[in-house]
Structure 1
Amino acid sequence: MPSGASLSSPKRYAGLWIPLVTPFRDGALDLPALGQLIDHLRRQGVRGFVACGSTGEAAALDADEQLAVLDAVLEAAQGLPVIMGVSGYHLPKLRNWVRQLASRPLVGLLTPAPLYVRPAQAGLLDWFHALADSSTAPLIVYDIPYRTGAHIGTDTLLTLAAHPNIQAIKDCGGDAGKTLALIADGRLDVLAGEDLQLYATLAQGGVGGITASAHLRTACFAALINQIAQGRLDEARAEWLRLVPLIQTLFAQPNPGPLKAVLAGQGYLREELRAPMTSVTPALRERLQVWMGTALEL
């Protein structure tokens, strides 16, 4: 881990985290391509990596594949911290999975509400407390109601913040008041999870972002975070306005389709996704080609 990056200090998750894509080749994992991509990204000022998040198509990977991806990320990261995505809706099974992951040197588990079930707030408290009690790595609550169907209330998150093993939130909730309340409370590191909310979250006191778009223009995203942390808001705003069109284009269709199209055009991986994810349309491919100045031919 780089000097000054202690995860026991305040703002332990500060900086730019890349939620990695998962490369495939002829339907199987392409771990050499993943290693090549990480080797490029880790030189661009990133804080660390997230393995097996939604950008990594984790829902389409079985348990053995997820472990293989995680181990490849840990090896290629060369000491940069790694967070693992963990999700599901069967609590005993998920707790066993969390215990299995204890053998890996993780700095966090990125964990959403149970998918599809839509429990009450009391049920959400029980869920996150049970997982935090089972994990050797801290939990990062992944608040993303449009994927899970579950709204995690502000009071619930503030209650979770009292648990010593719940230390951060990936904020995709879309509720500006809740974001501000968590930043003001200060116990959870607030990480922007929606790429277009990165600047606003950081400017209000968030500590960083888990940012899929930062597979591209990585050093620019890292510079943006550093500029805001140093109070250089005018410079950061100019940098941000240059990045916004890229973010908008990459999310014009479901992630990670557009991102994989660009990375394939740059030679980092094949443009393969697992069902039900699909490749970009020809019209979006043309937009991406214009933006990046890169041929995105299959």
Structure 2
Amino acid sequence: MQDAPHLSPDFSGLWIPLITPFRDGAVDHPALAGLVERLAPTGIAGFVVCGSTGEAAALDEDEQLAVLDTVARAAPSMPRIMGISGYHLGKTLAWVGRLGEQNIAGLLVPAPNYIRPSQSGIRDWFTAIADASAVPIVIYDIPYRTGASIARDTLLSLAAHPRIRAIKDCGGDMAKTRALIAGGRLQVLAGEDAQMFGTALEGGAGAIAASAHVQTARFVDVLRLLGEERLKEARALWQPLSPLIEALFADANPGPIKALLAHDGLIADELRPPMTRSPANLLDRLLAIQSAISRR
């Protein structure tokens, strides 16, 4: 393991896992730049590029690097976390090495998908990637995508690695979440948008929330108010967001988010197969919720 005493990142706050706009099958870089420029001044902590919300599985490596470059050019002062995934360790380490040449704040790394390794195998996976990485690691605990659940003891063990600094928590186990927060070695970021309020209330560091493409300032303010222990005000802002979050995940992410952004003229309502556009009646529901929030 290489020494990493200089790695002391702060992953707290609200991170936006960016969608990837497409037009006529290609990445729409002008739309992506416009979206980033619109979101950057809202008080967010930074961007997650090429995560699951960004349809990264449908992008080849050159496309992913081009997306990262567009985000960097559009908001050069904003930190960027790059998503990676896979199950072939050699190929993953080669990609980690390539990404180490980029100006990024960290890598968002899930357990290997499909393989369903033992906890020992999961520890080896993350340790090998952290050893090879030039930047800090944010563990992405999302068993319903990978098929592999990362046990509490495994996470607490991995937290001893100097490059493993945070977790995007989609594990659905509040006892594990509380243990990680109490442990203090990992910054715990809510990865399920609906759990953002509860995680922050328990002492979590923030959230990576796809829903925050819209109503961004309100999401930012919820976390700020919770950090200031102004619970009543935070709850008043949060409650109208709950039906929005529910509707945004009523169809496969990021379809509903893209539909809303397309309605506002920011992107084309286009996804890459096997993803499909959300139904029109869901957009109607989302617009009604947005209208209700704006009246409060």
| Equivalences for residues 214-225 of structure 1 within 5 A | 214-225=212-223
Q: Distance in 2 between matches of 1:37 and 1:56?
A: 13
Q: Which region of structure 1 is more displaced relative to structure 2, 145-154 or 228-237?
A: 228-237
Which residue is equivalent to 1:234?
232
Asked if 1 retains the 8 angstrom alpha-carbon contact of 2:143 and 2:171, the reply is yes
Which residue is equivalent to 1:100?
98
Which residue is equivalent to 1:279?
277
Q: Which runs of 5+ in 2 are unaligned?
A: 1-5
Shift of the alpha carbon at 1:78?
Answer: 2.2
Deviations along 1:78-114, one digit per CA (max 9) or x if unpaired, are 2110000010000000000000011111111000000
| Equivalences for residues 262-277 of structure 1 within 5 A | 262-277=260-275
Q: Choose from 54, 60, 67 the match for 1:62.
A: 60
| Equivalences for residues 137-286 of structure 1 within 5 A | 137-286=135-284
Q: TM-score, normalised by structure 2?
A: 0.95
Q: Distance in 2 between matches of 1:137 and 1:181?
A: 25
- Secondary structure at the aligned position of 1:42 is classed as helix
- Secondary structure at the aligned position of 1:190 is classed as strand
Which residue is equivalent to 2:72?
74
- Secondary structure at the aligned position of 2:100 is classed as helix
Q: Distance in 2 between matches of 1:287 and 1:233?
A: 29
Q: Distance in 1 between matches of 2:7 and 2:230?
A: 25
Deviations along 1:143-189, one digit per CA (max 9) or x if unpaired, are 00000000100000000000000000000000010000000000000
- Secondary structure at the aligned position of 2:240 is classed as helix
How many residues align structurally?
Answer: 287
The one-letter amino acid paired with 1:87 is: S
The one-letter amino acid paired with 2:43 is: G
Asked if 1 retains the 8 angstrom alpha-carbon contact of 2:7 and 2:162, the reply is no
Q: TM-score, normalised by structure 1?
A: 0.94
- Secondary structure at the aligned position of 1:50 is classed as strand
Which residue is equivalent to 1:3?
none
Q: Distance in 1 between matches of 2:95 and 2:135?
A: 13
Shift of the alpha carbon at 1:7?
Answer: 7.5
Shift of the alpha carbon at 1:28?
Answer: 0.2
Q: Could you say what the CA RMSD is over the residues aligned between the two structures, in angstroms?
A: 1.3
Q: Choose from 13, 17, 20 the match for 1:19.
A: 17
Q: Distance in 2 between matches of 1:282 and 1:40?
A: 25
- Secondary structure at the aligned position of 2:140 is classed as strand
- Secondary structure at the aligned position of 1:43 is classed as helix
- Secondary structure at the aligned position of 2:117 is classed as coil
Q: Which region of structure 1 is more displaced relative to structure 2, 199-208 or 236-245?
A: 236-245
Asked if 2 retains the 8 angstrom alpha-carbon contact of 1:141 and 1:166, the reply is yes
Q: Which runs of 5+ in 1 are unaligned?
A: 1-5
Q: Which region of structure 1 is more displaced relative to structure 2, 69-78 or 198-207?
A: 69-78
Answer yes or no: is 1:124 the counterpart of 2:122. yes
Answer yes or no: is 1:292 the counterpart of 2:290. yes
Q: Distance in 2 between matches of 1:104 and 1:257?
A: 29
- Secondary structure at the aligned position of 1:231 is classed as coil
Answer yes or no: is 1:8 the counterpart of 2:15. no
The one-letter amino acid paired with 1:259 is: I
Shift of the alpha carbon at 1:293?
Answer: 4.3
The one-letter amino acid paired with 2:64 is: Q
The one-letter amino acid paired with 2:138 is: I
Asked if 2 retains the 8 angstrom alpha-carbon contact of 1:7 and 1:13, the reply is no
Asked if 1 retains the 8 angstrom alpha-carbon contact of 2:7 and 2:163, the reply is no
Shift of the alpha carbon at 1:198?
Answer: 0.1
